[in-house]
Structure 1
Amino acid sequence: MNRQKFITSLMLGLAGLAASAKKVSSLAPSPEVGGGCDGCNLIYEGMPSNLSNKAYLPGWTAGGKKLIVEGTVYRKDGHTVAANVILYIYHTDSKGYYSASPGQVNGKRHGHLRGWLKTGCDGKYTFYTTMPAPYPERNNPAHIHPVIKEPGINEYYIDEFQFDNDPLLTDSLRSKTENRGGSGIIKLSKNASGILVCKRDIILGLNVPYYR
């Protein structure tokens, strides 16, 4: 084989390898949005068939320190409101446990203080609950877990709701937040009825791995 034929044969072989690699790549499954999430699948356990942009968690009428959280969900541009987005939240009870209610079947791992919302055309949401407590004998700040489910995208978590005045929320912990969906550190105030209120806007896909 002369030099020219050898080079031609080599180039054809490399082109074939590149085409095969591209085909294999196109057949490989895309990574999950968010990079996976332990327990996020529990969003579907016990989810009501009809959701609104307001949710009352079981603790709201059972005593404890009442808390109202509201905000707006935006598309990744941070300006366009996002409709039909499900927000699932769950948190500990007043003793710091994910306690299940008597006879609870669905989502026991997340306890009974859990709820679902679905944004309307204005992207707004509000949920009514009670203040969570930190885990017993640990230094984790009190928090509320949020999971997002957008149409056509798998469920994924965003940064926990945490409270700016929590003494357990140290500067070191603040610096380690991922800001998934935007900052989850919220400031508490009281409304005219003396109930704790706070606001958090959510930006879909912000700092969320593999978001598309």
Structure 2
Amino acid sequence: MNKLPNLFYIALASVMFMSANAQELSSIYDYTEVNLNSVDTVPDYASKAEKIKITGTIYKNDGVTPAEGVILYVYQTNEKGNFKMKRDDQGKRYVKHSAWVKTDKDGKYTIYTFMPGKYYHTKELKQIQRVVKEPGKKEYALNPFFFDDDPLIADLTLSCRSKVAQSMLRLNEKDGMLVAEEDIRLNSNTTVTTIALGQ
């Protein structure tokens, strides 16, 4: 079997994308922060067949204390694996299929989205990119959300599977949608990990 390309190619590409467009993305963040709450919905959610609800608690670095006022930004490809870009009324570019949530006093968040496609023309795992911003700190990327039913997981090495499992969504069907409960532990030193298959 051929080796897959770097598992986190899309994650790295996304980080590069964000770096190249940091000013625009930050402006969108500044513009929308006042309207944020603990629940948000990715555009086109209602029309998608594989609806997903991701919910959980964001904890401080101690893993015990709920983190209030933390902003979680997610963005993803559409079901065909393409990042759809849009412009807002001020002409700023952004990824269409994205959402912002801000944790409540109990650290809770909920995102309604849909199953993304694997990144166009690659053999990467399906994933949802994540950026987090703690109050008073600079935003930073987390490893993407992955999916426990992704058929490409079988091609990963045990080491890669272990790292993917750290942010893997375990989906259960409920009320006509896929539901995943995923808590997040904050760490200001967190960075996106690069994994080369076969290592």
- Mapped contact 1:54–1:125 kept (Cα < 8 A): yes
- Mapped contact 2:132–2:142 kept (Cα < 8 A): yes
Q: How many angstroms does 1:159 deviate by?
A: 1.2
**Which structure ranks higher in relative contact order (CA pairs < 8 Å, sequence separation ≥ 6)?**
2
Identity of aligned residues (%): 34
Alpha-carbon distance between aligned partners in 2 of 1:166 and 1:206, rounded to the nearest angstrom:
29
Greater gyration radius? 1
**CA displacement 1:92-148 (0-9 Å, x = unmatched):** 00100001248784343xx20011000011000000111101013311000000100
Match of 2:126 in 1: 142
Q: Which amino acid aligns with 2:179?
A: V
Q: How many angstroms does 1:88 deviate by?
A: 0.3
Match of 2:52 in 1: 67
Q: How many angstroms does 1:175 deviate by?
A: 3.9
- Mapped contact 1:43–1:147 kept (Cα < 8 A): no
- Unaligned residue ranges in structure 2 (runs of 5+): 1-14, 192-199
- Unaligned residue ranges in structure 1 (runs of 5+): 1-36
Alpha-carbon distance between aligned partners in 2 of 1:206 and 1:167, rounded to the nearest angstrom:
32
Match of 2:98 in 1: 114
Task: Select 2:179's aligned residue among 197, 200, 205.
Answer: 197
Alpha-carbon distance between aligned partners in 2 of 1:92 and 1:158, rounded to the nearest angstrom:
17
- Mapped contact 1:96–1:134 kept (Cα < 8 A): yes
- Mapped contact 1:64–1:94 kept (Cα < 8 A): no
Alpha-carbon distance between aligned partners in 2 of 1:51 and 1:59, rounded to the nearest angstrom:
19
Q: How many angstroms does 1:164 deviate by?
A: 1.0
- Mapped contact 2:86–2:93 kept (Cα < 8 A): no
What TM-score do you get using the length of structure 1 for normalisation?
A: 0.71
Q: How many angstroms does 1:73 deviate by?
A: 0.2
Q: Equivalent residue of 1:159, what SS?
A: strand
Q: Which amino acid aligns with 1:125?
A: Y
Q: How many angstroms does 1:45 deviate by?
A: 3.8
Q: How many angstroms does 1:152 deviate by?
A: 1.4
Alpha-carbon distance between aligned partners in 1 of 2:138 and 2:70, rounded to the nearest angstrom:
12
Alpha-carbon distance between aligned partners in 2 of 1:196 and 1:67, rounded to the nearest angstrom:
5
Task: Answer 1 or 2: which has greater strand percent.
Answer: 2
RMSD: 2.2
**CA displacement 1:33-84 (0-9 Å, x = unmatched):** xxxx531635424331321000011021233321110010001111110000
Number of residue pairs matched by the alignment: 166
Match of 2:9 in 1: none
- Mapped contact 2:87–2:93 kept (Cα < 8 A): no
Alpha-carbon distance between aligned partners in 1 of 2:92 and 2:108, rounded to the nearest angstrom:
27
